Structures are given as structure tokens and as C-alpha cells.
A = this chain, B = another copy of it.
């Protein structure tokens, strides 16, 4: 009974890995929220991308006018894509970083700053805040991932 279960829980018992799991779950959930925000704006702005999504508004021309782009919908979609472009590298490089044996305090510093920066980035995109608010929050998250990648390559490099 202990055999396989014990093995499977080793990684999750490691504190750095637990911190990684916590913050990665948080930023991935934050990214998933963008789908709900997009749906909210698509419905309230009546701006859809697929003909079958407008069928409940009637048939023919009366429904066709809702097949359009809306500035608010496009803004959320750009924020969502920016999340994909930045949270995916964080999750991938962060996993390798967590396995490279960093100090817990250093790892927590990286994870906390990244999560904070991405939440600020989303707020800056959706409110929207004047620049350089969004640009800076993007750059901070980007730098954290870069810093983790540097540590990973320094620790494990095998080309």
C-alpha cells in the first residue's frame, strides 16, 4: 500500500513544488477567467463570431448583425492571448525551476511577483489603466520567467 502512493506524493511533499503548484494553479485559473469575461462581453455587447451563436436572436438579417467585432470583446481577447503568451512559459519554465532545487524563499519571491504582476496586467488591460501601467506589469512578469530560465539553464544544461 505504501509503495506507489508514497512515490506519487514525494514531489507534492516538497515545499518548493507545493509553492509552484499553488501559484501555477492561481495564474492558470486567472487565465481561465478570461473566457468568462469574454463570454460576458459577447452577450452584453451582442457581438459574436459564429452564426450559430446568434440563432436565438432570430433568423436571417436580424441575427446577422450580431456577427461583428466589438472593442470591449477584442480587448479581453487580447488580454487572454497575452496571458497564453506569458503564463505558458511561466508554467513550463517554473516547473523546471521548481525541480532545480532553489531555496524556498527565492522561489516564493519569483512566484509571488509573477502572480502579482499578471493580476495587475489583467486589471491594467481591462480597466484600462494608462500606460506604462500595463507595459510595466508585463515586463515584471516577463523578467521573472527569464530569471527562472537562467537558473534552470545554469543548473541542468545538457545540450
Residues of A bordering B, CB below 8 Å: 4-5, 7-19, 21-22, 24-26, 28-29, 31-32, 34-35, 49-50, 52-53, 55-56, 74-75, 78, 80-81, 84-86, 88-89, 91-93, 95-96, 99-101, 112, 128-131, 134, 138, 142, 145-146, 149, 152-153, 155-159
What number of copies of this chain does the assembly contain?
Answer: 3
Interface of A is mostly: helix
Partner of A153, one of B17, B22, B158: B22
Instruction: Look across to chain B and name the residue whose beta carbon is closest to the beta carbon of A138.
Output: B35
Q: Judging by beta carbons under 8 Å apart, are A53 and B131 in contact?
A: yes
B9, B84, B130: the one contacting A55 at CB < 8 Å is: B130
- The 28 listed contacts between A and B (C-beta, < 8 Å) are A4-B14, A8-B99, A8-B101, A10-B10, A11-B11, A12-B156, A15-B158, A18-B156, A18-B157, A19-B159, A21-B99, A22-B157, A25-B96, A26-B153, A28-B92, A29-B93, A29-B146, A29-B149, A32-B145, A35-B86, A50-B128, A50-B134, A52-B130, A52-B131, A55-B131, A80-B85, A88-B91, A91-B92
**A17 partner residues in chain B, CB cutoff 8 A:** 8, 99, 156
The answer to whether A155 and B12 touch across the interface, beta carbons within 8 angstroms, is: yes
Complex CA gap A115/B146 in Å reads 18
